[in-house]
Amino acid sequence: MRFSVLLVPVLLLIIPSMFENKHKEEVERDWEKVSVSKVLEALGEEPCWELDSSIPGVSAQKGYDLFHTGFITSDKGNTRRKQSKHFVCTSCHNIEKEDPDLSVSDPEARLSYTSSKGLPFLQGTTMYGAVSRRTFYNDDYEKKYGDLVFEARENIRNAIQLCAVECAQGRELEDWEIESLLAYLWTIDLKIADLNLNASELGSLNTALDNEEQSAEMATLIKSKYMAGSPAHFSDPNIDREMYGKSADMDNGELVYKQSCLHCHENGRYSYFHLDTTAMSMKYLTRKVEKYNDLSIYQVVRYGVHSVSGRKSYMPHYPLEKMSHQQLLDLRAYIENKG
Ligand code: HEC
Ligand code: HEC
């Protein structure tokens, strides 16, 4: 009796600390490798978008295949019909980090960052770090997709499905396909090194991982270093038209043209409409610029090109966060100068 009376308080002290140490050892401290979600979990945050292990046949490799090629093969060896005749996910989404500072969405900073890495500059947000986001199709996307957005806004699985059908203009995905895409997205989560923490913040993170009282504060700091949703505000092309004549940077316009337009239009990669860097392409675009139809860069950039019956393929428009007024001005200057 005396023994157990003594033992209980001792165990109460020892047992939680055993668990605590075990828990802490799980977090690797190689910041190039360790995912932001893992660290937040270790700091006591609720996990989000966890994989559903009850769905058979799911794998990150299959998700990778579907994302990059449009094809996916089940465990039984059946390859499904290509997800979209027109696009693959990488037509519109990068899979690498595309913003030097993840806490802001700045298209100017993004363009110089992606260009320096040889990455395209696209209408869709990178899927790198998508699992760290909490909301999707933000702000003005409601205007484009209406009620469809409500189901997708706070649910990554529905966001994937919405994009497969509406953005990629393809077939609906089955549950195991969505889960495989999610498993793939988990392999490209943000890493702590992506957050540009300074030496003192990294020191505090190390301390907080061993010291529960500092967990909540550290989690708040980490979350302030990246955006939990990708902002999207649409613009009227007339606002851009009115800016003509203001100073423009042709070199920057060249980057927009090469890293964005040519990603889809060169050799008709994702569009029957071919563009290149010859004077012929530039003259064509220059002649159309003042028009009020799909051939004017103002219209296509701000409104996109809609799918019509017989031609389901379409061009997604650029919200202001994906192409600034200045960048569109620069693009025009480049095209006119070369044309
Ligand atoms: C034709 C272009 C296009 C294609 C193809 C495409 N997407 Fe998208 N996707 C977009 C655009 C534009 C958005 C709007 C929101 C954003 O990304 O900023 C979007 C949004 C998303 C979102 C929500 C992102 C966010 O942060 O709001 C997910 C997830 C997504 N797409 C996954 C996919 C997957 C998976 C595929 C392939 C099956 C795919 N997309 C194919 C253009 C495309
Ligand atoms: C994500 C891929 C993608 C990007 C990036 C893209 N486009 Fe397009 N664009 C398309 C598709 C798809 C169409 C629709 C026609 C089709 O099915 O080929 C189209 C249509 C157009 C058209 C109308 C062609 C016609 O005959 O009606 C123009 C002009 C155009 N794009 C210019 C541009 C310019 C300029 C840029 C860069 C600012 C750009 N595009 C970026 C995919 C893209």
Cβ of 139 closer than 6 Å to ligand 2, yes or no, is no
In the reported structure, the alpha carbon of residue 269 is separated from the centroid of ligand 1 by a whole-number distance in angstroms of 18
> Which ligand ends up closest to the CA of 275?
2
In the reported structure, the alpha carbon of residue 282 is separated from the centroid of ligand 2 by a whole-number distance in angstroms of 14
Nearest CA to ligand 2 atom 38: 261
Nearest CA to ligand 1 atom 23: 136
Burial 125-163 (b: 16+ CB within 10 A, else e): bbbbbbbbbebbbbbebeebbeebbeebbeebbbbbbbb
Cβ of 305 closer than 6 Å to ligand 2, yes or no, is yes
Residue with tokens 């907080």: 208
What residue ranges of the chain have pLDDT lower than 70? 1-26
Q: What is the number of the ligand 2 atom nearest to the C-alpha of 124?
A: 1
Nearest CA to ligand 2 atom 13: 315
Residues lining ligand 1, CB < 6 A? 67, 83, 87, 89, 91-93, 123-125, 130, 133, 136-137, 141, 159-160, 163-164, 167-168, 181, 230, 232, 316
Please give the structure tokens belonging to residue 47. 């996990």
Q: What is the number of the ligand 1 atom nearest to the C-alpha of 270?
A: 1
Residue 337 φ/ψ, nearest 5 degrees: -65, -35
> Which ligand ends up closest to the CA of 262?
2
Residue 339 has a pLDDT of 81
In the reported structure, the alpha carbon of residue 21 is separated from the centroid of ligand 2 by a whole-number distance in angstroms of 55
Residue 309 has a pLDDT of 77
Residue 21 has a pLDDT of 46
Quote the CA–CA distance of 89 and 113 in Å, as a whole number. Answer: 21
* Selection from 234, 248, 229, 245 nearest residue 327 by Cα: 248
CB 117 within 8 A of CB 213: no
In the reported structure, the alpha carbon of residue 256 is separated from the centroid of ligand 2 by a whole-number distance in angstroms of 13
Nearest CA to ligand 1 atom 36: 89
Residue 254 has a pLDDT of 98
Residue 28 has a pLDDT of 83
Please give the structure tokens belonging to residue 104. 């802001």
Choosing from 86, 252, 271 the residue with most ligand 2 atoms within 8 A of its CB, the one to mutate for a pocket test is 271
* Selection from 159, 171, 149 nearest residue 66 by Cα: 171
In the reported structure, the alpha carbon of residue 275 is separated from the centroid of ligand 2 by a whole-number distance in angstroms of 9
Residue 1 has a pLDDT of 42
